[in-house]
Structure 1
Amino acid sequence: MNLKLYLESILLLSGEELKISELCKFFKKDHQEIVEILNEIKNERKNTGINVEINTENVYLTTNPASGEIIHKFFNQESKPKKLSGAALETLSIIAYRQPVTKSEIEGIRGVSAEGVIQNLEDKKLIRVCGKKESVGRPNLYEVTDRFFSYLKIDSIEELPNYDEVKRHIERENEDK
């Protein structure tokens, strides 16, 4: 049985998010084995037009964000990606540098509610829920997605500027004023 082939075919034909637990049940395989195979598919498809997105509970196919502009042009939509608001960029920065992070931790840093911004970033698939924090209420933990990296034209979190260096630079600029 070529499980990888079957999973990839099912993902293509489903056209929507699939629960990993349903795939486990159908193929009578444990969660870890299915996720490992899905990650193999994801890595193999990384530089193709179709990418695989996986979170703790679901998996789905998506277009490669690098193709976004041409896809928009082809379908006669707005050709430039929409700019993010300052609040969205600030929230994305917090998530990128502190991930995994909860909504209340983000709000503690920003000093304002992040509910709407987080929902907007999830809708744009720039962030995703990556688990639950082992604390009272078991709040969602958030992390950035591959689409976030494509938006910034980078390949990994390691390519972000060093947080401590940026902080020191800003502090020096503020001292000079």
Structure 2
Amino acid sequence: MNISKQPILEETASNLADKDIIEEKDNCDGQAPARPDNTELKRAIEAILFAAGHPVTYEKLAIALDTAEYHVRQLVGEMALEYNAPTSARGIMLLTFDDSCQLCTKERFAPMIREALGIRRGGNLSASSLEVLAVIAYNQPCTRSFVDSVRGTDSGYTISSLCDKGLIEPRGRLDVPGRPILYGTTDTFLRVFGLSSLDELPSIDALQKNLSGESNTEVYDEGISEEQLL
């Protein structure tokens, strides 16, 4: 008796095809979830910076977002252009530093923030403090004797006070007899004056207006108390 093998072969082929489909589906189900797109990553960066309230390093952001640090820097740069644009509808700005970034409120809203939250008015830096800061900011790193020579008076107390406030810090020592301390500005200095980098320092003419009293520079920063600024 002849028995045809063709139907059996066809059934076997059909079963194998069904099995391949099932295995393919299982493989798809086992894949890692799709990586978030840039829009979602920007939302995550915004959320982290908002919750932090202080500078967060690009390295930490990259680890949290499971992406490369250069990618985080690129996204933060794009966000900064949007946040800091003159036409931005936001009341906050995004400051970017060498190794970190931070969300902060725009300066013009400081009076309303103080009123709403019951925060006492921050202190103003004295003219001598602004002078020392200016000399150091535009000539850093520099020594106390250099600052003294530019100002024509002793700056020891003011330099010590600015160090206590965290606006300047030692940057090593000059390789000359006596090895005097070199001073430079800090990230706190940048935050206090709303700068992302030293490249954004105002011109000498604008600075001289501040120092001459034509413009009142109020220092307002969450990281510095009123008592520290007085």
**Smaller-chain TM-score bracket:** 0.5 to 0.7
Alignment of 1:22-101 (within 5 A): 22-46=60-84, 47=88, 48-79=90-121, 81-98=122-139, 101=140
Match of 1:117 in 2: 162
In 2, distance between residues paired with 1:120 and 1:52?
A: 23
Deviation at 1:55, TM superposition (A): 2.4
The 1:85–1:50 alpha-carbon spacing in structure 2 relative to 1, beyond 3 Å, is same
Match of 1:145 in 2: 190
State the Cα deviation string for residues 135-166 of structure 1 (Å, max 9, x = none). Answer: 98xx785365264269xxxxx53554178xx7
Deviation at 1:86, TM superposition (A): 3.0
Secondary structure of 2:51's counterpart equals helix
Match of 2:145 in 1: 108
- CA root-mean-square deviation: 3.5
Deviation at 1:50, TM superposition (A): 1.6
Deviation at 1:96, TM superposition (A): 4.2
The 1:140–1:25 alpha-carbon spacing in structure 2 relative to 1, beyond 3 Å, is farther
State the Cα deviation string for residues 94-137 of structure 1 (Å, max 9, x = none). Answer: 24433xx23xx052322344243144253xxxx7x8xx89x98x
In 2, distance between residues paired with 1:84 and 1:73?
A: 21
The 1:53–1:85 alpha-carbon spacing in structure 2 relative to 1, beyond 3 Å, is same
The 1:145–1:22 alpha-carbon spacing in structure 2 relative to 1, beyond 3 Å, is same
In 2, distance between residues paired with 1:161 and 1:52?
A: 26
CA contact (8 A) 1:94 1:106 kept: no
The 1:147–1:23 alpha-carbon spacing in structure 2 relative to 1, beyond 3 Å, is same
In 1, distance between residues paired with 2:116 and 2:206?
A: 38
CA contact (8 A) 1:49 1:67 kept: yes
CA contact (8 A) 2:136 2:184 kept: no
How many residues are treated as equivalent by the alignment? 144
The 1:116–1:35 alpha-carbon spacing in structure 2 relative to 1, beyond 3 Å, is farther
Match of 1:12 in 2: 50
One-letter code aligned to 2:50: L
In 2, distance between residues paired with 1:41 and 1:69?
A: 26
Instruction: Give the gaps of 5 or more residues in structure 1.
Output: 151-155, 167-177
In 1, distance between residues paired with 2:126 and 2:163?
A: 12
CA contact (8 A) 1:49 1:64 kept: yes
Larger Rg: 2
Secondary structure of 1:161's counterpart equals helix
Match of 1:169 in 2: none
| Length-normalised TM-score, structure 2 | 0.49
The 1:95–1:49 alpha-carbon spacing in structure 2 relative to 1, beyond 3 Å, is farther
- Give the fraction of aligned pairs with identical amino acids, expressed as a percent: 17
The 1:140–1:107 alpha-carbon spacing in structure 2 relative to 1, beyond 3 Å, is closer
| Length-normalised TM-score, structure 1 | 0.60
